[in-house]
C-alpha cells in the first residue's frame, strides 16, 4: 500500500459515486460540505441523526472507506461517545473529532478574530472515551493549534498527547498558503501515527510532498461543493438569461449519464442490487473482525452491516443492554434517584404490591384500550412523561421517542430541558404536550410557551415539585453536570440568549450552562405564578408533581385541567410517599372535576392496569422508554412502548376487562395502603 491515500469530500450518494469514479480512495463527509448541502452554517448545527442519515445514504452506494467529521463532538464527552456509536452503526469507518471549543468555527472562517482551544488533557479524555466506546471504528484526533496561532511544536505536543490517549490517526489543520507551516508537524507525527491532512489553503502543493515521512491521507475536503456552487450558479444564470438550454448544452451531461451513475449497483446488504462495488471493499482491505479496529483507510462496509443488526433481545433486559451502550455517567444520570434511592425503589415496590382480583366468564375475545384526553384520541391511556437531555441516551433524542409514541397512537410530553427543540420534535408527534418550569427569568418560560403553542402543542404541563434540585449521589460521585454534559435546546431559545448576552456584559465568562443553573429552579414559585401561567394560555393545563390532596383541590380551583400525581420518578426526594400511595387521596379530593394522571415507578403493563383500576385516567411512563431509546433509537423506544401495550392488553384479558373503562376499584384485591 502506498504511503499516500487520496480522499475527496462528498455530501450525498451521487457525489460519492462521482468521487469513486474519479479514483478517490477515501470519502470524507466533512462538516462544511454536509452543512452547506443542508443550507445551514458550519457551526455544529446539523444534529447527529442527520449526519447518520447522510452516512447511511453514502454507504448504500459504495464500499470505499468513509471518514466522518464530528467537529468537537458537540462539546461533550457523552455526546461524542453517542456520535461514535451512531456513526459506526450507520456505516462509517472513521470519525474525526477536533480540539476546538463548542460550537466550533470553521478553520477557514476568520471573520470573528482569534479562537480558543480545549485543554489538551480534557480533549485527550474525550478521545479515550470514544476509543472505549467504538467497536471497529477508527478515531482521528484533529488539532486546530496552527489555526489558533500556535507554533508547530505546540501542535506536535497536542498530537502526541492525543496519540497516547488512543487516537488511531492524527490530523493537523493549517491556515497559511504555504506548506512550511504544516511540514514540521508532518515530519514529527507521520512516523508516529498515520496522518490525515486537508490542504485546502495549499492549492499549489503536491499531495505527495506530505507522504515522504509516513502514511498520509490527503483529503480534498470541499472541492465538490465549491465546484457545484460555481458551475451550477453559472449554468442557472445563463438559462434564466437566455430562456433556453442551447447556450449551456455543452456543460450538461445527457440523462443517459444519470442512468449510468445510479444503476451501477449498491453495496450488498446496504440496498437493492449488486454491482462493481461488491468486491471493492476487499480491494481496500475491508474485512476485519468487528471487535478489532480496521487499518486506517480500510472500509468496514461488510462489518457495518453486521453491526447494525444487533438486536436488543440478545440481552436479558432493555435496561442492562442500554447500560452497556451508554457512558457510566449518562446511565447513572438517567437511572439514578435522590438520596439513597429508596424513594425511587419504593415507587416500583408499592406498584408491585397491588394484587388484582379478576372477573370470570366475561367475553374478552375483542378488547379495546382506546381512550381520549382533552378531546384527542389515544390508542391507550399511556403517554411518555417529560424527560430531559435524551441525547444522553441516543443522538436522535426526543425526535425518536416522540415518533415512537405517535406511531403507536400514544401521547408524548416534551421536557423544557429537551435535547431537541420543540420545532424539531413537534412534526414527529403532532399535538404533543409541552412541559414547563417557571424559571427565575420568567420571560424564558413564556418564550418556551409561545414557541410550543406555535409548534402545535395541545397541552401544557407545569412541573411544581422542584423548588430545589434533588441531591443525587450518583451524579455527585461522577462529578456529572447535566447542562455541561449535554446542553439542552433551551440554551438556543431567543429569550434565553438575549438574557445571557445581557448577563455577560457584567460577567463575560458566564457560560450558558451556568446561566441556566442560575435561573433554574426558582424556590419562590407559588400559586400566584400558577395563576399567571393559567392566564397566558388557552391550552389545557396539567399540573405535575401533586401529592397532597389539599394541593390537588386548590389546583383544580385555580383552573387547571388535569392533575399529574408524581414523585418525579424518585429523583427529588427519598422521603416522599410513593406516588401510588398518594393517588387515592388525590382522586378523592378531585372527584370527577378533572382527569387525574399518574407517573413514577411504572415498569409494566400490569402496573398500568393497576393504576387505571385505582381510578387514574392515564399513565405516563419514563425510564422504560429511555432504555428502549438507548438500545435502538426510535425502534427501541417503540419496542418498549409496544411491550407495555401488549402487557396491558394481556392483563385486561386475564382480568375479564374488554375495555379500559372496565378497569375499576372492584378489581383491586389485596393492597395495604400506607
Q: Where are the beta strands (DSSP E) in 467-591?
A: 541-546, 562-565
Active site includes 394? no
526: number of Cβ within 10 Å: 11
Given a contact cutoff of 8 angstroms between Cβ atoms, the answer to whether 362 and 654 are in contact is: no
CA 282 to each of CA 65, 103, 219, 278: distance values in angstroms, whole numbers, following the listed order: 11, 38, 22, 9
- Give residue for cell 484533529: 142
- φ, ψ of residue 526 to 5 degrees: the values are -140, -170
Which three cell numbers mark 111?
471573520
Q: Where are the beta strands (DSSP E) in 66-113?
A: 66-69, 94-98
Cα separation, 85 vs 134, in Å, equals 6
Which three cell numbers mark 40?
445551514
Given a contact cutoff of 8 angstroms between Cβ atoms, the answer to whether 346 and 570 are in contact is: yes
Given a contact cutoff of 8 angstroms between Cβ atoms, the answer to whether 336 and 475 are in contact is: yes
Cα separation, 530 vs 528, in Å, equals 5
Which three cell numbers mark 131?
476509543
Cα separation, 89 vs 140, in Å, equals 17
Cα separation, 460 vs 474, in Å, equals 31
- Give residue for cell 402543542: 457
Cα separation, 645 vs 652, in Å, equals 11
| Of 70, 106, 74, 131, the residue nearest 492 (C-alpha) | 74
Cα separation, 324 vs 346, in Å, equals 25
Cα separation, 568 vs 600, in Å, equals 6
- φ, ψ of residue 95 to 5 degrees: the values are -125, 135
Q: Report the relative pairing of strands 459-463 and 433-436 from DSSP bridges.
A: parallel
Q: Which of 11, 406, 568, 576 is catalytic?
A: 568
Q: Is 318 left (phi over 0), alpha (psi -120 to 50) or beta?
A: alpha
Which three cell numbers mark 615?
381510578
* Residues in Cβ contact with 520 at an 8 Å cutoff, skipping those fewer than 6 apart: 437, 439, 440
Given a contact cutoff of 8 angstroms between Cβ atoms, the answer to whether 574 and 339 are in contact is: yes
61: number of Cβ within 10 Å: 24
Q: Enumerate long-range contacts of 532-538, CB under 8 Å, 24 or more apart.
A: 532/442, 533/436, 533/438, 533/445, 533/449, 533/460, 533/462, 534/558, 534/559, 534/560, 536/446, 536/449, 537/449, 537/453, 537/460
Q: Is 39 left (phi over 0), alpha (psi -120 to 50) or beta?
A: left
261: number of Cβ within 10 Å: 15
**Residues identified as active-site:** 568
Amino acid at each position: 500500500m502506498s504511503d499516500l491515500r487520496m480522499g475527496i469530500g462528498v455530501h450525498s450518494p451521487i457525489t460519492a459515486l462521482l468521487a469513486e469514479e474519479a479514483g478517490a480512495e477515501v470519502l470524507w463527509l466533512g462538516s462544511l460540505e454536509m452543512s452547506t448541502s443542508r443550507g445551514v452554517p458550519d457551526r455544529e448545527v446539523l444534529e447527529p441523526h442527520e449526519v447518520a442519515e447522510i452516512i447511511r445514504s453514502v454507504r448504500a452506494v459504495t464500499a470505499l472507506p468513509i471518514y466522518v467529521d464530528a467537529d468537537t463532538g458537540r462539546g461533550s464527552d457523552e455526546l461524542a461517545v453517542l456520535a461514535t456509536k451512531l456513526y459506526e452503526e450507520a456505516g462509517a469507518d472513521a470519525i474525526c473529532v477536533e480540539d476546538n471549543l463548542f460550537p466550533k468555527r470553521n478553520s477557514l472562517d476568520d471573520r470573528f478574530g482569534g479562537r480558543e482551544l480545549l485543554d489538551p488533557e480534557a480533549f485527550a479524555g474525550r478521545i479515550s472515551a470514544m476509543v472505549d466506546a467504538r467497536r471497529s471504528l477508527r478515531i482521528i484526533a484533529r488539532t486546530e493549534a496552527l489555526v489558533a496561532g500556535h507554533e508547530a511544536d505546540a501542535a506536535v505536543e497536542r498530537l502526541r498527547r492525543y496519540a497516547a490517549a488512543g487516537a488511531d490517526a492524527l490530523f493537523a489543520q493549517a491556515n497559511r498558503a504555504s506548506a512550511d507551516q504544516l511540514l514540521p508537524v508532518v515530519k514529527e507525527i507521520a512516523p508516529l501515527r498515520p496522518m490525515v491532512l486537508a490542504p485546502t489553503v495549499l492549492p499549489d502543493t503536491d499531495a505527495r510532498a506530505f507522504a515522504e515521512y509516513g502514511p498520509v491521507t490527503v483529503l480534498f475536503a470541499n472541492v465538490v461543493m465549491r465546484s457545484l456552487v460555481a458551475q451550477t450558479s453559472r449554468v442557472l444564470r445563463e438559462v434564466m438569461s437566455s430562456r433556453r438550454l442551447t447556450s449551456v448544452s455543452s456543460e450538461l451531461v445527457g440523462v443517459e449519464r444519470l442512468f449510468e451513475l445510479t444503476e451501477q449497483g449498491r453495496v450488498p446488504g446496504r440496498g437493492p442490487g449488486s454491482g462493481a462495488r461488491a468486491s471493492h471493499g476487499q480491494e481496500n482491505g475491508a474485512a476485519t473482525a468487528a471487535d478489532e479496529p480496521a487499518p486506517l483507510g480500510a472500509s468496514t462496509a461488510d462489518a457495518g452491516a453486521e453491526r447494525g443488526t444487533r438486536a436488543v433481545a440478545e440481552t436479558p433486559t432493555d435496561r442492562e443492554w442500554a447500560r452497556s451502550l451508554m457512558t457510566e455517567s449518562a446511565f447513572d444520570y438517567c437511572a439514578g434517584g435522590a438520596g439513597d434511592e429508596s424513594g425511587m425503589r419504593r415507587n416500583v415496590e408499592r406498584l408491585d404490591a397491588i394484587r388484582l382480583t379478576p372477573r370470570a366468564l366475561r367475553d374478552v375475545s375483542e378488547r379495546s384500550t382506546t381512550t381520549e384526553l382533552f378531546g384527542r384520541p389515544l390508542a391507550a391511556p399511556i403517554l411518555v412523561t417529560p424527560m430531559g437531555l435524551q441525547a444522553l441516551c441516543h443522538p436522535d433524542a426526543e425526535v425518536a421517542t416522540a415518533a415512537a409514541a405517535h406511531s403507536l397512537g400514544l401521547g408524548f410530553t416534551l421536557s423544557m430541558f429537551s435535547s431537541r427543540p420543540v420545532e424539531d420534535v413537534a412534526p414527529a408527534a403532532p399535538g404533543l404536550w409541552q412541559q414547563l418550569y417557571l424559571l427565575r427569568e420568567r420571560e424564558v418560560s413564556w418564550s418556551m410557551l409561545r414557541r410550543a403553542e406555535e409548534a402545535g402543542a395541545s397541552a401544557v404541563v407545569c412541573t411544581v415539585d422542584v423548588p430545589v434540585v434533588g441531591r443525587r449521589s450518583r451524579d455527585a460521585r461522577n462529578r456529572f453536570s447535566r447542562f455541561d454534559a449535554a446542553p439542552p435546546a433551551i440554551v438556543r431559545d431567543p429569550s434565553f440568549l438575549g438574557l445571557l448576552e445581557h448577563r455577560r456584559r457584567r460577567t463575560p465568562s458566564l457560560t450558558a450552562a451556568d446561566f441556566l443553573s442560575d435561573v433554574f429552579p426558582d424556590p419562590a414559585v407559588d400559586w400566584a405564578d400558577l395563576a399567571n401561567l393559567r392566564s397566558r394560555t388557552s391550552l389545557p393545563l396539567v399540573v405535575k408533581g401533586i401529592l397532597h390532596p389539599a394541593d390537588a383541590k386548590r389546583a383544580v380551583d385555580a383552573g387547571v385541567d388535569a392533575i399529574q400525581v408524581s414523585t418525579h420518578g424518585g429523583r427529588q426526594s427519598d422521603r416522599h410517599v410513593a406516588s401510588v400511595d398518594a393517588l387515592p387521596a388525590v382522586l378523592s379530593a378531585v372527584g370527577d372535576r378533572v382527569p387525574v394522571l399518574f407517573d413514577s415507578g411504572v415498569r409494566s403493563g400490569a402496573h398500568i392496569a393497576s393504576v387505571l383500576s385505582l381510578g387514574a385516567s392515564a399513565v405516563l411512563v419514563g425510564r422504560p422508554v429511555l432504555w428502549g431509546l438507548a438500545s435502538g433509537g426510535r425502534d427501541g423506544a417503540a419496542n418498549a412502548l409496544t411491550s407495555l401495550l401488549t402487557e396491558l392488553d394481556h392483563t385486561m384479558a386475564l382480568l375479564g376487562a374488554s375495555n379500559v373503562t372496565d378497569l375499576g376499584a372492584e378489581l383491586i384485591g389485596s393492597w395495604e395502603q400506607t
